[in-house]
């Protein structure tokens, strides 16, 4: 009877180890941190204003935070748009679907860049009419050794150079 208990305990220990490994792999949280920048030119205006855009993406598991910060060329803050939502990796692995549920905007100057105006308008329209703002993040080029990524966001077709962190 002693041998039976030893075998039972051994089998249960192995089973517990297998379950823990499976559970750890299935609940592995995906984290993504991008610090991106882009230069913006408003060519539709008479004096072709230039702005800088810093965009940070923080994703942990399926939650995502996008923070767009706009600046003039001399570094004066113009405004910001923060968006919260969900992130889902596409099966191919080179793009992500974002579903934005809410946003916060702050305008610090009278005039704002065309990109900020467009992002504010299209996201506001979608959030009002559909309660979500769908976006796609495409990883155009990545180099994990150099910690950089070139990404494109849709809608808007904006391309950013990003510092990639894990």
Q: CATH code at 131?
A: 2.40.128
Q: Can you give the pLDDT at residue 23?
A: 54
55 or 49: which carries more pLDDT confidence?
A: 55
Residue 3 falls inside a structural domain:
no
Q: What is the pLDDT of residues 117-146, one digit of tens each?
A: 999 999 999 999 999 999 999 999 988 888
166 or 91: which carries more pLDDT confidence?
A: 91
Per-residue CA distances from 33 to 7, 16, 65, 78, 94 (Å) = 47, 34, 10, 24, 15
Q: Which helix (H) or strand (E) is 79 found in, with range? A: strand 77-89
Residue 134 falls inside a structural domain:
yes
Q: How far is 159 from 137, CA to CA, in rounded Å? A: 10
155 or 120: which carries more pLDDT confidence?
A: 120
Residue 103 falls inside a structural domain:
yes
Compute the Cα dihedral for 158, 159, 162, 166 and give only its sign.
Answer: positive
Q: Give how many domains the chain has, as a whole number.
A: 1
Residue numbers of the domain that contains 125: 31-165
Alpha helices in the chain (DSSP H): 2-26, 114-130
Q: Can you give the pLDDT at residue 140?
A: 93
Residue 5 falls inside a structural domain:
no
């Amino acid at each position: 009877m002693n041998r039976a208990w030893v075998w039972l305990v051994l089998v249960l220990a192995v089973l517990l180890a297998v379950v823990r490994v499976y559970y750890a792999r299935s609940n592995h949280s995906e984290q993504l941190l991008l610090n991106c920048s882009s230069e913006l030119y408003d060519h539709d205006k008479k004096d072709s204003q230039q702005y800088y855009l810093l965009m940070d993406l923080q994703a942990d598991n399926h939650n995502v935070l996008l923070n767009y910060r706009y600046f003039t060329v001399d570094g004066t803050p113009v405004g910001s748009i923060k968006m919260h939502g969900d992130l889902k990796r596409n099966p191919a692995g080179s793009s992500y679907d974002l579903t934005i549920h809410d946003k916060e905007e702050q305008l610090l100057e009278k005039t704002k860049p065309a990109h900020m105006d467009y992002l504010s308008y299209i996201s506001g329209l979608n959030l009002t009419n559909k309660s979500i703002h769908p976006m796609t993040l495409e990883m155009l080029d990545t180099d994990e050794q150099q910690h950089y990524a070139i990404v494109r966001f849709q809608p808007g077709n904006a391309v950013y150079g990003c510092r990639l962190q894990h």
